A and B are shown apart, each in its own frame.
Chain A
Amino acid sequence: MTLLIQYMLIFASVLLLVALGGCFSEHSGVINIGLEGIMVFGALGGALVMKYLPDGASAATVIFLSIAAAMLLGMVYSLLLAVAAINFKADQTLVGTAMNLLGTAAATVFVKAMNTAENPDNVSSTIQYINAKKAFIVDLGGFEFNWFMLLALILLVVSYVLLYKTKFGLRLQACGEHPQAADSVGINVYKMRYAGVMISGLLGGIGGLVYITAGVSEWKFENGVAGFGFLALAVMIFGQWKPIRIALAALLFGLFRSLSNVYTGFDFLASLNIPSSIYNMLPYIISLVVLALTSGKSHAPKAEGIPYDKGSR
Chain B
Amino acid sequence: MEAKKHTPFLRRPVVQTLLASLICILLGLLIGYIALLLINPAGAWDAIVVIVKNFWKYSAQSAQLKYLGNTLVKAAPLLMCSLSVLFAYKVGLFNIGAAGQYVAGAGAALYCALGLHMPWYVCMLAGALAGALLGCLSGMLKAYRNVNEVISCIMLNWISLYLVNSLLTTVKDPTSPYTLNLAVANPGALIPSLGLEKLFTNNKYVTIAIPLAVIITVLIWVLLEKTKLGYELKATGLNKNAAKYCGMREKYNIILTMGIAGALAGIGASMYFLSGFEEWSCTQSSVPAMGFNGIAAAFLGGLNPIGAIFSSFFIQHITNGGAYVDKTMYCSQISDFISAVIIYLCGFVLFFKHCMNRFMDRREEKALRKEEQAK
Instruction: Give chain A's interface residues, CB within 8 Å of chain B.
Output: 33, 80, 84, 88-91, 93-95, 97-99, 101-102, 104-106, 108-109, 112-113, 116, 120, 123, 125, 222-224, 226-227, 230, 233-234, 237, 275, 277, 280-281, 284-285, 287-288, 291-293, 295-296, 298
Given A102-B344, A109-B334, A293-B145, 11 other A-B residues pairs in contact with their CB atoms under 8 A: A93-B94, A94-B295, A101-B339, A106-B340, A113-B40, A113-B331, A116-B329, A123-B327, A222-B333, A277-B162, A291-B148
- Chain B 273-298: CB-based contact to A (< 8 A → 1; otherwise 0): 00000000000011000001001100
Q: Shortest CB–CB separation between residue A235 and chain B, in angstroms?
A: 10
A134 to chain B, nearest CB (A): 27
- State which of B153-161, B197-205, B305-313 sits at the interface with chain A: B153-161
A227 to B156: give the CA distance in the assembly, Å. Answer: 12
Q: How far is the CB of B73 from chain A (nearest CB, A)?
A: 22
* A291:B162 contact, CB within 8 angstroms: no
Which A residues lie within 8 Å of B334 (CB)?
Answer: 109
Cβ distance B294 to chain A, nearest Cβ, rounded Å: 11
Contact of A94 among B286, B337, B346 (CB under 8 A): B346
Interface string of B129-172 (1 = CB under 8 A from A): 00000000000010001111011101111110011011000000
**Chain B residue at minimum C-beta to C-beta distance from A300:** B148
Contact yes or no, B350 A89, CB < 8 A: yes
- A102 with B155: CB separation less than 8 A: no
Report whether B147 and A277 are in contact in the complex, using a CB–CB cutoff of 8 Å: no
Q: Is B328 an interface residue (CB 8 A)?
A: yes
Q: A105-B340, A227-B158 are in contact. Are A123 and B331 (CB under 8 A)?
A: yes
Give the Cβ gap from A135 to chain B, nearest Cβ, in Å: 28
Contact B166 A275 (CB under 8 A): yes
Count, chain B residues at interface, CB 8 A: 48
Known pairs A230-B154, A277-B165, A295-B147; A95 contacts B331 (CB<8 A): no
A102 touches B147 (CB 8 A): no
Closest partner residue, chain B, to A115 (CB atom): B331
CA distance A234 to B152 in the complex (A): 9
Task: State A97–B99 Cα separation when bound (angstroms).
Answer: 13
Ordered by A's residue number, 24 sampled pairs between the chains whose C-beta atoms are within 8 Å are A84-B344, A90-B348, A93-B150, A94-B299, A95-B344, A97-B94, A97-B292, A97-B343, A99-B344, A101-B292, A109-B330, A123-B327, A226-B285, A226-B286, A227-B286, A233-B154, A277-B166, A281-B163, A285-B155, A285-B159, A288-B159, A291-B151, A292-B145, A292-B147
CA–CA, A283 to B35, complex, Å?
Answer: 37
Q: Taking the complex as formed, is B351 at the interface, i.e. its CB lies under 8 A from any CB of chain A?
A: yes
A234 vs B96: C-alpha distance in the bound complex, in angstroms? 15
Contact A227 B154 (CB under 8 A): yes
Cβ contact within 8 Å between A288 and B156 = yes
- B336 contacts which chain A residues (CB < 8 A)? 101, 104-105, 108
- Considering the complex, give the chain A residue whose CB is closest to the CB of B151: A234
Whether B165 contacts A295 by the Cβ 8 Å rule is no
- Determine whether B39 belongs to the interface, using a CB cutoff of 8 Å to chain A: yes
B289 to chain A, nearest CB (A): 8
Q: Report Cα–Cα, A246/B295, bound state, in Å.
A: 30
User: Which 7 A-B residue pairs are closest in the complex by CB-CB distance?
Assistant: A90-B347, A102-B340, A98-B344, A101-B340, A98-B343, A105-B337, A105-B336
Instruction: Indicate if B265 sits at the interface (CB-CB under 8 A).
Output: no
Complex Cα distance, B331 from A106, in Å, reads 11
Give chain B nearest CB distance to A115 CB in angstroms. Answer: 10
Residues of A within 8 Å of B339, CB to CB, are 101, 105
Q: Is B112 an interface residue (CB 8 A)?
A: no
Distance in Å from the Cβ of A173 to the closest Cβ of chain B? 20
Residue of A nearest to B39 (CB): A113
**In the bound complex, what is the Cα–Cα distance between A224 and B346 (angstroms)?**
22
A120 to B40, CA, bound (A): 13
Cα of A94 to Cα of B165 in the assembled complex, Å:
29
Q: Are B141 and A291 in contact (CB under 8 A)?
A: yes
**Distance in Å: Cβ of B358 to nearest Cβ of chain A:** 14
Measured between beta carbons, the chain A residues less than 8 angstroms from B123 are: none
Cβ of B40 and Cβ of A237 under 8 Å apart? Answer: no
Q: Is the CB of B351 within 8 A of A88?
A: yes
Q: From residue B147, how far is it (CB to closest CB) to chain A in Å?
A: 4
CB-defined contacts of B96 to chain A, threshold 8 Å: 97
Assess whether B267 is interfacial by the CB under 8 Å rule. Answer: no
B106 at the interface (CB under 8 A from A): no
> Is the CB–CB distance between B330 and A113 below 8 Å?
yes
Tell me, yes or no, whether B341 is within 8 Å of chain A by CB: yes
Question: Which chain A residues border B333 with CB–CB below 8 Å?
Answer: 105, 108-109, 112, 222
Asked if residues A281 and B141 are in contact (CB atoms below 8 Å), the reply is no
Given contacts A277-B165, A292-B141, contact A109 B340 (CB under 8 A): no
Contact residues in A for B151 (Cβ distance below 8 Å)? 230, 233-234, 237, 287, 291
B286 partner, pick from A99, A223, A293, A298, beta carbons under 8 A: A223
**A287:B155 contact, CB within 8 angstroms:** yes
Which of B141, B286, B329, B347 lies in contact with A91, CB distance below 8 A?
Answer: B347
Report chain B residues within 8 Å CB of A284.
155-156, 158-159
Given contacts A89-B350, A108-B331, A292-B147, contact A101 B155 (CB under 8 A): no
The interface residues of chain A lying within 8 Å CB-to-CB of B343 are 94, 97-98, 101-102
Contacts known (A109-B35, A109-B334, A295-B146); A281 close to B351, Cβ less than 8 A = no
Q: Name the CB-closest residue of B to A124.
A: B331
Question: Across the interface, which residues of B come within 8 angstroms of A109, CB to CB?
Answer: 35, 39, 330-331, 333-334, 337
Instruction: Contact check, B152 vs A288: say whether CB atoms are below 8 A apart.
Output: yes
**Chain A positions within 8 Å of B340 at CB level:** 98, 101-102, 105-106
